[in-house]
Amino acid sequence: MKKLLILQEMDKNLKRRNLSGIYIFETFEGEEKRQPTCFEDCSEATQDKWLDSLEPQSLKNLAKQLADTLIQVADFAGVMKGGEDEQ
């Protein structure tokens, strides 16, 4: 239940951060037209609908692109989980 409330709150605060470069079309509240929006910035419902339409190789490519984006963000922010000796 708590996760659902958090997700609902996140959906209200959607922003286009355009980090991954994986664009699909989404309409945010208050907008008239769908606009190119990065996967991670879309609502969970839009993400689910789009993911359901992908072939296995496309899902693999998506996961690799998101992993690369995560590494770039972590490198930029200097974030590393665990200690240096735990690698």
pLDDT of residue 67: 95
- Give the start-to-end residue ranges of the domains of the chain: 2-77
Q: Tell me: the pLDDT tens digits for 55-66?
A: 999 999 999 999
Region 34-50: mean pLDDT is: 93
Confidence of residue 2 (pLDDT cuts 50, 70, 90): low
User: Whole-model pTM above 0.85?
Assistant: no
Q: How far apart are CA 27 and CA 18, in angstroms?
A: 15
